[in-house]
Chains A and B, each alone.
Chain A
Amino acid sequence: MTRLPIRKTYKLFLGGAFPRSESGRTYEAQGQNVARASRKDVRDAVRAARSAQPKWAGMTAYNRGQVLYRVAEMMEARSADLAALASGRDEVERAIDRMLWYAGWADKLAQVIGTANPVAGPYFNFTVPEPTGVVAIVASDEPPLDALVARLAPVLVGGNATVVLASERRPLPAIELAEALATSDVPGGVVNILTGLREALAPVLAAHMDVNAIDVGGADGVAPELERLAAENVKRVVRSSGDDQSPWEIAAFLELKTVWHPIGR
């Protein structure tokens, strides 16, 4: 019996679901029709991220690490699909290893980045890292999967929620990654992935008053304009390069809270 193949419709990943763009529009990329997000989709994504963030940040560090480990598991299970859409097996393996590497940092961050500070007074003075909040990521085009994971993983480990603007030319690996995220216990809304025209969407994200930090690594020529818009609410601006991998990439999206605790007798 012949069978009608089910073709995949590439949609957004928003609040844990896969809706079409609110505008109904699409554009063509990598030979597929891909959802073309509108400003309202950006607004909805930020709202979803904002409401999901406290729960994600409230999970124990160990648990967050476990969930990110599971993301790596799910990516492994989908590695063939990911490889077909990205630039091959090598890139996918790099991305999975990277996710795993960052997952391990979840319960080590506070020890490494936090400090106990000597002060001239009867206080126990210590500093602990806390998530920045909602982080916007403007992803690089190349390599489409690994560059995205390289930005996404450090943002997530620290307990932030994020709105990702996927590569405009090569958005499919990002949506495929969303399938892995959706089946990996990352609470809905913690990661939101939008596809669409970078020129139209990135400024909306950069100007959004409810976004606390923006990674302009993939913004190319428009980065200065995004930074200018981000200044309105003093967003943390991170100019990443796709291949960096270190705990300091995580620290870039953390706020350090210092506590002065009186020492009694």
Chain B
Amino acid sequence: MAHAPALPRGFELPLEPRLPRIGSVDEVALEERAATLAKRSIKKDSKLWALELAVRMMDLTTLEGADTPGKVAALCSKAVRPDPADRTVPSVAAVCVYPNLVSAARERLGESGVKVASVATAFPSGQSPLEVKLADVRAAVELGADEVDMVIDRGAFLSGRYAKVYDEIVRVKEACGRAHLKVILETGELGTYDNVRRASLLAMAAGADFIKTSTGKVQPAATLPVTLVMLEAIRDVHEETGRQVGMKPAGGIRTAKQAIQYLVVLHETLGADWLTPDLFRFGASSLLNDVLMQIRKQKTGAYQSPDYFTLD
């Protein structure tokens, strides 16, 4: 693959023959299926179970220019004990920050079991030379990141230079060492579901541990249909090779209700095996508070107010 023959006008062969053919995605049926699954009613004990699972699957994220070690420390405290008033609420899966804040997060999280994820590879645009991206990844890993969230080069992908995208993922995966690699497709910039499916398969073929919808910096970010396309790509890879790749929708998931819809789609597409933080994550910043409010609503019976939950 690294030596895909160059074609005229800068185009390169998309993929090796042994990669699965992508077929074409039926847009209407896909959106209809996602909408139907979103209507499932999950109540009472099942809802509470789903909400706690959503907390355990959360990558609590802050990716702002204004992030400070203090803010990250506060976020980490929240990650470990999301609801100080209720010890039964589990810790989140990971805290997701910029490389410069990895050590602050690492220090604060200690032995809590909450992982540190760092974005890298010239996040969010990915428009930098490969060497810069690799240095970014190595730095994040050296600082103590357990997981690396990379972005694909959409400029290369959209101009048909799939080999470049593929090679970059392979190189980044190498640079990650033992750290888990999540590959952000930025589906909001890919344009079509076909492209989302193609990028998903490309990323998985190149060695992604997780595929992730979005950076959160581009609208639309994660949507239910896009997530369904990616989950189906994961299912196809699993059926063909037995490999289990994880999924991370990120950006735009703000309510507990949405989170449960994603879990329903996940369960219907990939089954109970994927209902674990090892294979599914939510990338979100404001989702956690809504989930906490819903958990307390389930336990107390009273509707809750954001006044009684921490901001970050």
Interface residues of A (CB under 8 A from B): 42-43, 46, 204, 207-210, 229, 232-233
Contact = CB atoms under 8 A, between A and B. Distances in A.
B303 A204 contact: yes
Interface in B263-310: 301-308
A207 B301 contact: yes
Interface of B: 301-308
Nearest to A134: B305
Contacts of A207: 301-303
A209 B308 contact: yes
B23 to A, nearest CB: 40
A229 B304 CA distance: 13
B43 to A, nearest CB: 12
A210 B301 contact: no
A213 to B, nearest CB: 13
B303 A43 contact: yes
> Which of B305, B306, B307 counts the most chain A CB atoms within 10 A?
B305
A132 B304 CA distance: 17
22 contacts: A42-B303, A43-B303, A46-B303, A204-B303, A207-B301, A207-B303, A208-B302, A208-B303, A208-B305, A209-B302, A209-B303, A209-B304, A209-B305, A209-B307, A209-B308, A210-B303, A210-B304, A210-B305, A210-B306, A232-B302, A233-B305, A233-B308
Contacts of B303: 42-43, 46, 204, 207-210
Contacts of B307: 209-210
B190 to A, nearest CB: 33
B162 to A, nearest CB: 45
A43 B303 CA distance: 7
A42 B305 CA distance: 14
Contacts of A232: 302
B310 to A, nearest CB: 15
A207 B301 CA distance: 8
Nearest to A39: B303
9 pairs of A and B residues whose beta carbons are closest in the complex: A210-B305, A207-B302, A209-B305, A208-B303, A209-B304, A43-B303, A209-B302, A209-B308, A209-B303
Contacts of A210: 303-307
Contacts of A208: 302-303, 305
Chain B interface SS verdict (over half)? loop
B66 to A, nearest CB: 23
Contacts of A233: 305, 308
Q: Which of A46, A210, A229, A232 has the most CB of B within 10 A?
A: A210
Contacts of B306: 210
Nearest to B305: A210
Contacts of B305: 208-210, 233
Given A208-B302, A209-B307, A229-B302, 9 more contacts: A42-B303, A207-B301, A207-B302, A207-B303, A209-B303, A209-B304, A210-B303, A210-B305, A233-B305
B87 to A, nearest CB: 20
A126 B61 CA distance: 42
B292 to A, nearest CB: 12
Nearest to B296: A209
A209 B303 CA distance: 6
B301 to A, nearest CB: 7
A204 B303 CA distance: 8
A232 B306 CA distance: 15
A233 B304 CA distance: 10
B10 to A, nearest CB: 50
Contacts of B304: 209-210
A42 B306 CA distance: 17
A233 B306 CA distance: 12
B83 to A, nearest CB: 14
B80 to A, nearest CB: 24
A42 B301 CA distance: 13
A42 B308 CA distance: 19
Nearest to B301: A207
A42 B302 CA distance: 11
A91 B308 CA distance: 42
A229 B302 CA distance: 9
A53 B263 CA distance: 34
A94 B307 CA distance: 39
A233 B303 CA distance: 11
A232 B308 CA distance: 12
A208 B306 CA distance: 12
B177 to A, nearest CB: 47
Contacts of B301: 207
A204 B300 CA distance: 12
A210 B303 CA distance: 7
A232 B304 CA distance: 11
A233 B296 CA distance: 14
Nearest to A42: B303
Contacts of A229: 302
A253 to B, nearest CB: 18
